[in-house]
Structure 1
Amino acid sequence: MKELFSHRLKRHQKQMMRYLRYVFNDHFVLACTFLLGGVGLYYSDLVKGLPKGFLPGKIVVVLVLVLSLHLGEFVSLAKPADIVFLLPKEAQMKDFLKRALRYSCLFPFAVLLLVAGFLMPLYVVSTRQSFWAFFPVVLLLWALKLAHLYLRRYQLFQGPWLYKRSYRLWLVASAVLLALSLFTPVTALVGGILLALISREFLFKRVKQPLDWDKLVVTENRRLQRIYRFINLFTDVPQIATAVKRRKYLDGLLALIPKDQGHSYLYLFSHRLLRGTEFGGLYARLVGIGAVLLYFVTERWFSVGIGCLFLYLIGFQLVPLYNQFQYMILTQLYPLPEKQKERALQQLLTGLLMLAAVLFALVGSFAYDNWLDRAWLLGSFVLFAGLFSTLYLPARLKKMRRLSGAYL
């Protein structure tokens, strides 16, 4: 079992490294640097202006730390075929899951370290503790996350009612210990270590129930699909499973498109966007995240930069709509010119980007009292959306046609 997990882990890491080359490209790294620099500057100025013993800061620290404990899932690397081929080896699966638990700690421990480091200035100002409290707080977070991973592993066994009760107990204990860490970090750390040891004893060593193989496979597949959806923001992922939902309440938008030959591709693209979970969900998430960030930014040029960045991400991620019907036989048989396909995508993206630009301008305007600043936001966003649709999009589609022609 140890060799099996090591083999699967190597294949999984190799696959992830191949995709991460496209995720951490120059554009993304530059955008993250720009965004983190602005957020860091704003956060630094905010913390400097807070009084000592700031009570709302304590509440924010506890809430953020409790939420951050849910980052990172149990990585089982289970396959659908395991239900058949590994069932006779169920008695030996504990060794497999033990190694899986160790690997599952790497990512959340690293994330919790970063979160604790980011919150530490607010923690020091709000609690009047020294920066040395960083170390017991980080160890406390690791202990609580370890207990959470024991709990997530226990969920893969039969007996879900025990899992729900155990999760509530873990959540309450974590909130209490994190609140206690605001006053006595070392005492809270001791409590966190005890919680991890108790979880290991009752949720790991003494588990006698059989494995729920279906849940094991489904849980791992959901975890991978979340990763693939994130990677799909940057490149195409063949492994992603796309779902289609009826969404009858959006039929009125499709009814606005004329039902004639000249608007065939516009109807197909719009239908795919509204009823598919991939592109529609992507558009909604990016618009929502961009709007939330703009709501808290008060610097005009920084707001313009963030808004244009998210408009670029929205347009860039929706361009693959162009190839959605490339291998659909009916679009090949029906005499539709290629220019209509390009024009339809350009019309759709122009409308979506203009809608996002207006929403960004409306949300960003709450931070300004001057109508000139609000006009700057709206004009900048609309101008960027227009330039993307008229300059960048045709060049990108030309490159995609050349690449698809080379593969064919």
Structure 2
Amino acid sequence: MFDADRLFKERLSRYLRETGQYLRYMFNGHIAVALFFFIAAFAYFYQQWLLNLPESFPSTTIMAIVFGFLVSIGSVRTLLQEADLVFLVSAENKMRRYFKKTLLLSYLIGWYPVFLVAALFGPLYFASFPERSGRTYLLLVVVLLIFKGWNLLATWWMNNIQDKMIRTIDLLTRVLISTAVFYFLIDGTIILAAVFTVLFIGVFLYDLSISRKQSNINWYLLIEKDRNRMQAFYRIANLFTDVPHLKNPVKKRNWLISLWGNRVAYDQRLTYDYLFRLTFIRSGDYLSMYIRLIVVGGLFIYFVPINWLKLLFAFLFLYMSLFQMMTIYRHHRVNIWLDIYPITQSDKKRALLRLIMKLAFVQTVIFTVVTLLQQNYLMTGIVLIGGLIFSYGFVYFYIKGKSI
């Protein structure tokens, strides 16, 4: 006898157990320290910036665009698996209660980013509209939650539509209308906000009507969305610990391979130097994460006005990059063919240390150039020398001493 409630409880329990296990590794002591510095520094400079907020700053437009995307983007976490195409399709007419529960779960999970962004924009809202009360902003948050629910239902209904172009057009339409609603609501033009709300309800009812014309659930799309969402989570978790469920995408990037990857001497002892370079360039998210940390770190160093904080952020982003690169050592752990390489483990570890040191040198030079652009010559020298000393110590004392 098929029991939708029991199936939902089992899937939810497995989902929470699995994600909770990886989250414990992701938010370990290292990341907690980094997040503390980020939040403290951001809060300080955010407050200082709000004290001198220019009157021409487009607060309404920025908040409306972010709120519009926030309530519109997102899909239902159905917790479906590929095997369900075989075992659950026959019970499709009994799955209604299951999908209602996944809808409610997805909506409640969606509250977290709504409250987070609302808390982030709260100080900006009151700095831009000091005459307004907290009750007005609370009403805006309530409207955010209502539109989040409406958009989630509309997305669920549109999942039954096979044509991807129709789904994309519907999503863009809802994003634009939601953005307009929040723009006029924040601006105080209630009549126009009400007009666009009615227009959104029209789109909402249209989605419901065309969804009812579809007789079957689009199982393939629902399973693909859940798989992609979990793979994205696995890729992030894999930066902190081994994730056996991860299917690593491999990208060609031939130009970068020819530029740097192939520039390894033909020597047996350098086998892992070549392999690790290719792994960094082509596999997983190593390269993209490395670039993102450089860009974000460079922005912090450039805009932070206090010199000691510039140096602190340079060390912090260097630490984050080098710490994540350590996982390259275990990237090919399931490939048994590497065990036949006539290479010692010490050569393998030295190859990793050389790679990480090269990446640390490049990142330090980029941070130095960012400091140089501000014509802060003393700080430029400190960032360069300090970054190189920090990188060398981290690589050849911390990493070298660990059993990776």
Please report how far the alpha carbon of residue 275 of structure 1 lies from its aligned counterpart in structure 2 after TM superposition: 1.7
Which residue of the other structure, out of 194, 213, 218, is the alignment partner of 1:208?
A: 213
Inter-partner Cα distance in structure 2 for 1:247 and 1:202 = 44
Which residue of the other structure, out of 77, 80, 83, is the alignment partner of 1:81?
A: 83
Please report how far the alpha carbon of residue 112 of structure 1 lies from its aligned counterpart in structure 2 after TM superposition: 1.1
Inter-partner Cα distance in structure 1 for 2:244 and 2:192 = 46
Contact 1:365 1:374 in 2 (8 A): yes
Say whether residues 1:170 and 2:186 are aligned partners: no
Please report how far the alpha carbon of residue 185 of structure 1 lies from its aligned counterpart in structure 2 after TM superposition: 8.2
Inter-partner Cα distance in structure 2 for 1:40 and 1:185 = 31
Greater CA deviation, 169-178 or 85-94? 85-94
Gaps in structure 1 of 5+ consecutive residues: 401-408
Cα 1:223/1:381, change in 2 over 3 Å? same
Please report how far the alpha carbon of residue 344 of structure 1 lies from its aligned counterpart in structure 2 after TM superposition: 0.8
**What is the RMSD computed on CA atoms of the aligned residues?**
2.5
Cα 1:307/1:370, change in 2 over 3 Å? closer
Instruction: Give the counterpart letter for 1:322 in structure 2.
Output: Y
Contact 2:273 2:351 in 1 (8 A): yes
Say whether residues 1:341 and 2:352 are aligned partners: no
Inter-partner Cα distance in structure 2 for 1:58 and 1:122 = 10
Instruction: Give the counterpart letter for 2:376 in structure 1.
Output: N
Please report how far the alpha carbon of residue 345 of structure 1 lies from its aligned counterpart in structure 2 after TM superposition: 0.7
Please report how far the alpha carbon of residue 365 of structure 1 lies from its aligned counterpart in structure 2 after TM superposition: 4.3
For residues 72-119 of structure 1, the C-alpha deviation after alignment (integer angstroms, 9 at most, x for no partner) is 542111100111211112223332222111111123212211211111
Contact 1:73 1:223 in 2 (8 A): no
Instruction: Give the counterpart letter for 1:121 in structure 2.
Output: P
Instruction: Give the counterpart letter for 1:362 in structure 2.
Output: V
Secondary structure in structure 2 of the residue aligned to 1:246: coil
Cα 1:27/1:332, change in 2 over 3 Å? closer
Please report how far the alpha carbon of residue 374 of structure 1 lies from its aligned counterpart in structure 2 after TM superposition: 2.3
1:405 is aligned to none
2:150 is aligned to 147
Inter-partner Cα distance in structure 2 for 1:258 and 1:109 = 54
1:61 is aligned to 63
Contact 1:143 1:196 in 2 (8 A): no
For residues 38-90 of structure 1, the C-alpha deviation after alignment (integer angstroms, 9 at most, x for no partner) is 10000001001125x54423233223333433565421111001112111122
Cα 1:304/1:251, change in 2 over 3 Å? same
2:98 is aligned to 96
Say whether residues 1:17 and 2:20 are aligned partners: yes
For residues 12-51 of structure 1, the C-alpha deviation after alignment (integer angstroms, 9 at most, x for no partner) is 1111112221122222222211110110000001001125
Inter-partner Cα distance in structure 2 for 1:390 and 1:24 = 25
Which residue of the other structure, out of 294, 297, 309, is the alignment partner of 2:301?
A: 294
Alignment of 1:245-256 (within 5 A): 245-252=251-258, 253-256=260-263
Inter-partner Cα distance in structure 1 for 2:256 and 2:57 = 45
Which residue of the other structure, out of 312, 324, 331, is the alignment partner of 2:319?
A: 312
Please report how far the alpha carbon of residue 339 of structure 1 lies from its aligned counterpart in structure 2 after TM superposition: 1.8
Say whether residues 1:322 and 2:334 are aligned partners: no
Which residue of the other structure, out of 219, 227, 230, is the alignment partner of 2:233?
A: 227
1:114 is aligned to 116
Cα 1:188/1:146, change in 2 over 3 Å? farther
Cα 1:218/1:349, change in 2 over 3 Å? same
Cα 1:188/1:382, change in 2 over 3 Å? farther
1:404 is aligned to none
Inter-partner Cα distance in structure 1 for 2:103 and 2:91 = 18
Say whether residues 1:263 and 2:270 are aligned partners: yes
Inter-partner Cα distance in structure 1 for 2:23 and 2:192 = 37
Secondary structure in structure 2 of the residue aligned to 1:22: helix
For residues 284-304 of structure 1, the C-alpha deviation after alignment (integer angstroms, 9 at most, x for no partner) is 333333333334322222222
For residues 135-182 of structure 1, the C-alpha deviation after alignment (integer angstroms, 9 at most, x for no partner) is 111112112222221232223213434323322221121111111122
* Equivalent residues, number: 396
Alignment of 1:18-37 (within 5 A): 18-37=21-40
